[in-house]
Structure 1
């Protein structure tokens, strides 16, 4: 048994007992109320989910297992995976053991490559990526053991096995989707000595002479790993998994949600806007030019992409991390300089618009510019990068949920006529 699985076997039983006692003692306490506007507004702000891997307070941003993200910028994705599952960062020995476990499960079945090769040449990269995950469902340890009559207390163990099998293969799948979809040449075999993110960079085939792209990918995969349980991809995957559909079903379903323009495609729109600004002004605009253009954008009924967030009321710490990275490695890049200058100008403009609650940038305002700098200019692929990272959180949430024995997700829906009766009775 791996060190991580052994640690979870020690952590989960007492934690499950603790939660069961907590719910038994306080189960009748009211923790949230729902307004009619929330019922019709996507359940925004309704407290009705449990996610112990991370939280996103409006005044702090992402916190992973009690640690603010700003203290994790230098951690590798494998360390974050350990943290998401256990609540602790791994020791060097534990990290090495987890990396070895992932390496042992990284080989992708040949039929996956065959499926990708037979897809239409113009398939969207996310369609290819999610299809590859779903087609591997026949490998699910959970599905096999459930069919054999596995005990409920063992659900997490089989889900963990699926997590390792999936996470280990995502860099190779993601890299081949890029090379296949954008005609970059044949598939590149894995580097058996490389860590998770470095191996992805190796297999994608872009130049990386100083390992700056490797450093960026380690950062990128860390920053996008999790964002509590209420976002579309996490919530969708958790709902699917709550029906005891295995992780292959759940992850592919959640990532299909990530492919939406209001979720994972946002960084593409942000980068396109920045490039448009540079083209409009023939280079990096002045502060005065940007301020005027920002007002023109707003007055025409459009938004400034990358500014504002459903939860946050501060600058997204993930934006800070990318801004810091760009200033260190390519401060004179015109696209990046424009991103930085927009940050200097736009919040002050947005503060003057009464209806805007959050004038600060989110992660999407900067992430695309960093990737673009290193030669990955195919916008439609960016959500695959997001997906590789977010799989860490989605899969970790599933392991924890099965370990705690959480039931199937089944909220109650009402018709508009029923809501009218409730409102009229309360008036």
Structure 2
């Protein structure tokens, strides 16, 4: 087992530090409403505070009436003016991999013709390999139990391999973006393989990229020991990448990227920070929470549980009488979508056939039951006006499980899908915003006198 050398503190020292903080610090969340603070950068009606302008994508979950009333509507996700349902329909109708075309669309705002798309796919294909010595020095010599942290560090380390790392011209940021979009899947798989050997004590496999593969095919062929996969499996993974590719400028990780970009920092620092933001269980880590909760529910309800039994168990979770004590039904609810999340509907419809082929009927049917029943239970328990619906995380984790992908990769796959969106927003921030993002915080501290060191009373917790 690999143990990182991180300095520890004695229990008495930890207690002293925690007691000192808790004795002198408290913020009442209710003060936010009293002082007009937009907690979470949200308005009182749940809508996001407008912080910028973008052409990249739009997230639609409600209509605002002339009187200001918010009216829920079926959700839409629009990439550069094109609904993702249209992109998915194109993929299904012509049996195509669409992620690479989506990358081009997000970065440049146009649809490439066949020749240009082929050239772009070849460009990504040619840049999948990492710089010479990078995997050994930056990944294998410093393994991590969490792949997201390793990916974030690897992206940051690319700065040392780029002689133009600080160049903020359009041409250079686009070059860096394309390299990162191509290389991040390779970083992920390499980080996972060394994690298997060091932390899981299992064999690791390193495969070179195969020319001519899509991003989804590249991931499966380098991840699996035998490099074998079906066309249907790769298409389903490609679909996951497509629906995760961007989600407006205000989501946590994209806004993180834009905040850093507004400061004038380099591409690697901005994208590395976005990966760190996505790692959180309230953001990109939610799909893993969904699967853990799904396993827990299946263990605690009847094999043929009817709606009444499932509904009552969900009620217990909301009441913190079951589950992890959070009171959350993971995969349900979204900041913008109210009636439906289009990404969830796409993944739900495309996951069904594979679920029944591979023996995941019970898992799939339970997720459908949760999608159907959780909004009812939420309304009954919370008696609030806000409507909730299933979000993309409800079904993405099951798809990754059906594809035989390790749970270690659920959130990293989200990052691979989202890096084109991050890069598109970074370009936009650098080229057009040209102002550092700097919101304000209301200071609540009270004046206190300065007492000289010799006059201070001894702490009761010391000694």
TM-score normalized with structure 2 length: 0.76
Quote how far apart the aligned CAs of 1:40 are. 4.9
2: CA distance, partners of 1:285 / 1:139: 56
Q: How many residues align?
A: 375
- 2:193 maps to 1:179: yes
Quote how far apart the aligned CAs of 1:140 are. 3.7
1:364-383 to structure 2, matched below 5 A, reads 364-376=393-405, 378-383=406-411
1:354-365 to structure 2, matched below 5 A, reads 354-355=383-384, 357-365=386-394
Structure 2 vs 1, CA of residues 140 and 285 (structure 1 numbering), >3 Å: closer, same or farther? farther
- 2:111 maps to 1:83: no
- Determine helix, strand or coil for the equivalent of 2:40: coil
Give yes or no for contact 2:287–2:393 (8 Å, CA) kept in 1: yes
- 2:189 maps to 1:195: no
Alignment-derived partner of residue 249 in structure 1: 269
2: CA distance, partners of 1:198 / 1:47: 38
Alignment-derived partner of residue 66 in structure 1: 81
1: CA distance, partners of 2:368 / 2:439: 43
Alignment-derived partner of residue 170 in structure 1: 184
Give yes or no for contact 1:141–1:161 (8 Å, CA) kept in 2: no
1: CA distance, partners of 2:36 / 2:161: 40
Structure 2 vs 1, CA of residues 289 and 417 (structure 1 numbering), >3 Å: closer, same or farther? same
Alignment-derived partner of residue 92 in structure 1: 114
- 2:160 maps to 1:131: no
1: CA distance, partners of 2:148 / 2:36: 31
Alignment-derived partner of residue 11 in structure 2: none
- Determine helix, strand or coil for the equivalent of 1:56: strand
Which segment drifts farther, 228-237 or 133-142?
A: 133-142
Q: Would you tell me which structure has more helix in proportion to its own residues?
A: 1
Find the structure with the greater CA-based Rg.
Answer: 2
Give yes or no for contact 1:57–1:312 (8 Å, CA) kept in 2: yes
Alignment-derived partner of residue 432 in structure 2: 404
Give yes or no for contact 2:147–2:408 (8 Å, CA) kept in 1: yes
Structure 2 vs 1, CA of residues 323 and 284 (structure 1 numbering), >3 Å: closer, same or farther? farther
2: CA distance, partners of 1:50 / 1:142: 28
Structure 2 vs 1, CA of residues 385 and 37 (structure 1 numbering), >3 Å: closer, same or farther? farther
Give yes or no for contact 1:53–1:397 (8 Å, CA) kept in 2: yes
1: CA distance, partners of 2:158 / 2:101: 26
Quote how far apart the aligned CAs of 1:276 are. 1.1
Deviations 1:27-49 (A, max 9, x none): xxxxxxx9766635121121122
2: CA distance, partners of 1:249 / 1:38: 33
- 2:139 maps to 1:116: yes
Unaligned runs of 5+ in 2: 1-31, 43-47, 62-72, 92-96, 197-201, 322-326, 447-463
Alignment-derived partner of residue 49 in structure 1: 52
Deviations 1:299-355 (A, max 9, x none): 336121111111111221111111111123223512122112222322232233312
Give yes or no for contact 1:140–1:246 (8 Å, CA) kept in 2: no
Give yes or no for contact 2:192–2:408 (8 Å, CA) kept in 1: no
2:415 to 387, 393, 401: 387
Quote how far apart the aligned CAs of 1:141 are. 6.0
Give yes or no for contact 2:261–2:267 (8 Å, CA) kept in 1: yes
CA RMSD of aligned residues (A): 2.3
2:248 to 215, 223, 228: 228
Structure 2 vs 1, CA of residues 222 and 37 (structure 1 numbering), >3 Å: closer, same or farther? farther
